Structure 1
Amino acid sequence: MHLHDVWFVLIAVLWTGYFFLEGFDFGIGVLTRLLARDRAERRVLINTIGPVWDGNEVWLLTAAGGTFAAFPDWYATLFSGFYLPLLAILICLIVRGVAFEYRHKRGEDRWQRGWEQAIFWTSLLPAFLWGVVFANIVHGVAIDQQKNYVGGLGDLFKPYALLGGLLTLVLFTFHGAVFAALKTVGEIRGRARALALRLGLVTAVLALVFLGWTQSHQGTGWSLVALAVAVLALVGALVANQLAREGWAFTLSGLTVVAAVAMLFLALFPNVMPSTLNPAYSLTVTSASSSPYTLKVMSVVAAVFTPLVLLYQGWTYWVFRKRIGVQHIPAAHPAEV
């Protein structure tokens, strides 16, 4: 296996890790409106991800940085051709971070309600847009001989891409509902499990259609295996959720995300961005990669720092592993009532 193949796998792992972690993170943000009934419950949900949401975004920075360094042509074509959707995602992530930090700075109802709305929308939009982006990457876009995207913004929102966006939105929200059931106590825990069941059923339908479409279009034997794992894991997550085995439900919902993303990358390889104009114009792991020396240096750096990142992030989750409920939320400031 060549180094550019290894780095394709590593980039796939980084994006998969990002969607696994940021998936339930986005899901919790969406659930602040779908699940929480009052401000206290919204604070419970936000507090479940409060210690970890910024650490989850490290995976995005690493994935984007790794793509830039290992496959500069892929990065250039992707971030120039998909400029507006990716800019929208970036703005949402910036506003979302500000909302988490500023929401509790003042007690006025209007202030807190505004930032809570911001958390909802800046969680929902990226969850949808990431699906649109990766659906286009896998299915192919209009790339010319100079490796430039020559399509328009509307070309990125065709039925396949919109279906991919709906799938990631519902899947991440389901993943978040399972995480909420795992991390909370009391009435909200039971409602999270009930909502997870409904979201899981919708996810199953969307996943079968979208992943089946992907498999029929450009699937391989390995991508079919990943598709089967995703479906079985989703069924297992629903069963575990109904049995109130939240730990298993979250593990299996996470495996669903991992297998679904892996299926897309397996269907994509050896391309990194197929061209719909001419297959010869497609960006591949060979044509889009950096020099062998660059990949060697990156491999050494990754071997040293990746275990450290995994250790400190794992430690963070261990420290903040306890469940919380409305009884753990301090009494509201008089101005909040």
Structure 2
Amino acid sequence: MTVGKDEKKLNILVVYAGKFGFHVVSYFLSKYASKKHNVTYLGLTLDQTGESLSYPGVNVKEHTCQPGLKGRKAMLSLFRDEVSNGDYDVVFTQYLAGISWLKHQLPNQKIIVDIRSGYLLANPLKRYLLNTLLCKESKYLTPNVTINSKILGHFLGFKDTELTELPLGAEPVDTHNRNFEKLKLIYVGTLSKRNIHLSIEGLNKHISETSDHVIESYDIIGSGSPDDEQLIKDLIDKYELQSIVTLHGYVPREKTGALLEKANIGVSFVPITPYYDLQPVTKTFEFLLAGLPLIATATTQNQQLISEDNGVLIQDTDFGFCEGLKKISCLRKSYNSKTIQEQSLKHSWERVINEQYLPYIEKVSSV
């Protein structure tokens, strides 16, 4: 999409706590918005996680701050300085703790606060207090708050009228009619608080019970806490699954293509809890747009996306994963990767950015 002769090119600042390319929303918003408007990406990080990408037409600025309270204050000061020294029509920013401080620092700036998640702390009181703070800070700073699911917004304390829903998407990848004779599984995402070790338990159970199983490989891509990673490594060793399961660790987005090309089954495994049940799973979209049928836990959001034409729904247990492997093994020859991708194109980032994100951003800038 290119800007018309009579349309004004906006100066848009996208702010996220991460290097460019680490967060999918900020990366694809910047990518597709830059075809129509002037886009600057401000990455504010507290560590060196990930690799910074680039994209033609996106002005990338990044700063690394020290962890802790001082670092978070520095992030907000860098945010303020960038906006004060720039000439931005609108700022699209991830929620950052303490962001309400900018209310009086940038009183005339049009700001959109984007919320993709809440706090996931195990302590219910701390979780409630921090999610309440997130809600109140966002509403205090700006009337322009976006979220990927209004159901999540309700959980955090927002009313429907206080939110605009902007969905997740995925990038279509070149796909071929995959061969499903043998199953090649792939999981991509964080390993923290996702209980991915249960999929290893379920895989071992399936292999033990099925002498003629068709599982060829299971690639796990992502990082997590040292304990989460070690648990997965220990189970791979315990069940002697080294010839099937590979824990790759963190792999940059642009380098996952070869592993996706090899795979033919996506794993979208998140716990079915009141919190996780509220929001879409990014990888569900990404696997569908890659033409992969899924083994997916039966969250409310996954139930809206997965059918017998594109995968199986399971419970978030080792037994559930085992049963999912049995079912998808039986159904595998009924899948068509090109059909799966074609039926999911409405979720492509290009469409959701051009049809939903940009009209909203342009509306905010004109008010």
TM-score category by the smaller chain?
A: under 0.3
Q: Which has the higher contact order (CA 8 A, sep 6+)?
A: 1
Structure with greater Cα Rg: 2
**TM-score normalised by structure 2 residue count:** 0.26
TM-score, normalisation: structure 1: 0.28
Structure holding more strand per residue: 2
